[in-house]
Amino acid sequence: EADIYQTPRYLVIGTGKKITLECSQTMGHDKMYWYQQDPGMELHLIHYSYGVNSTEKGDLSSESTVSRIRTEHFPLTLESARPSHTSQYLCASSAGTSGGAGEQYFGPGTRLTVT
C-alpha cells in the first residue's frame, strides 16, 4: 500500500471560492505530481515538482497553483473555483533518479465539483 494521502476525497463548493487540495507522502520521494482526470478520460499532468522549492507546469494548462515548501507536502490551490474546474485531481510521487523515470505512487484522488 502506497503511503500517499489526499484530502479531501470529495468536495462540493460554490463558484468563486478558494480551495486547497492537500497531498502528502511519507516515502521521502523528491518528485511529486498533480494530474487532472475527467470521468472516463485519460490523465493530464498539470503540475510537477522535482524537490523543495521546485514547481513546474505540466502539459495541460491549469489555473491552479502549487507549492513545495516541504518534501512530503505538495498542495494545489484554486484561487477562485469555477464549474470548469470540476474534475478528479490525482496526486502522485516517485523516487525516479532521472527525469520522469520510475514508477509513480498515486493517492486516492480528490473529486471536486464546483456548482
Gyration radius of the chain's alpha carbons: 13
**Is residue 42 at the binding interface for other proteins, with CB under 8 A as the rule?**
yes
Tell me the site size for other proteins, rule CB under 8 A.
Answer: 25
* Half-sphere CA count of 15, side-chain side, radius 13 A: 4
- Which 5-24 positions form the footprint of other proteins (CB under 8 A)? 6
Q: Which stretch binds other proteins (CB under 8 A): 11-19, 60-68, 78-86, 94-102?
A: 94-102
**24 contacts 73 by C-beta, under 8 angstroms:** yes
**Is residue 109 at the binding interface for other proteins, with CB under 8 A as the rule?**
yes
Map residue 70 onto helix, strand or coil: strand
What distance, in Å, lies between the first and last C-alpha atoms of the chain?
34
Indicate the length of the chain as a whole number.
115
Binding mask 50-89 for other proteins (x = CB under 8 A): ----------------------------------------
Q: Which residues bind other proteins (CB under 8 A)?
A: 6, 33, 35, 40-45, 90, 92, 96, 98-109, 111
